[in-house]
Amino acid sequence: MEADLRHGRDEGVTKGAASQVLCRLEEIEDGAGKGFYFTQGAVERAIFVVREGDQLYGYENLCPHLGMPLEFVPDQFISADGSYILCSTHGALFRIEDGHCVSGPCLGANLVPVAVGLDGKGQVTLETKERAAQ
């Protein structure tokens, strides 16, 4: 399944059979997140990746409460104290490691995870279903 990936309005993300390059690891500040948009067929999706050291966590950029994007300001996904993913619309807080809501109107709900990884070249990748089946 081919996907057209971009960060903001930038194009030209490398595509591969098993994964698609989103960015270089150093483009995501440690303890921060970065959003990406891509299309699969006619459907546009928004995702984001949070970095904690070399550990990466990917989620769809939709609050489970009303289906709105989590951030008001591009790439601002983390709470002020750096401990949680924050929904800027409702103030909901989600654990970084599993996307589980611990506070707010969607308490107990979860963000939808997206499979991301780090390749041998230091690139953050979106894992495709073809890779998961291998």
Mean pLDDT of the chain: 85
DSSP string, the chain: ---EEESTT-----B-SSEEEEEEGGGS-TT-EEEEEEEETTEEEEEEEEEETTEEEEEES--TTT---S-SSTT--B-TTSSEEE-TTT--EEETTT-BEEESTTTT-BPPEE-EEE-TTSEEEEEPHHHHH-
pLDDT in tens, 77-109: 999 999 999 999 999 999 999 999 999 999 999
End-to-end CA distance of the chain: 14
For the residues 53-71, what does the mean pLDDT come to?
A: 94
pLDDT in tens, 33-49: 999 998 777 888 899 99
Query: Could you tell me which of 41, 13, 35, 119 has the C-alpha nearest to residue 85?
Result: 35
Does the pLDDT value for residue 9 go beyond 50? no
Residue 122: band (very low, low, confident or very high) from pLDDT cuts 50, 70, 90: very high
Domains of the chain: 4-133 (2.102.10.10)
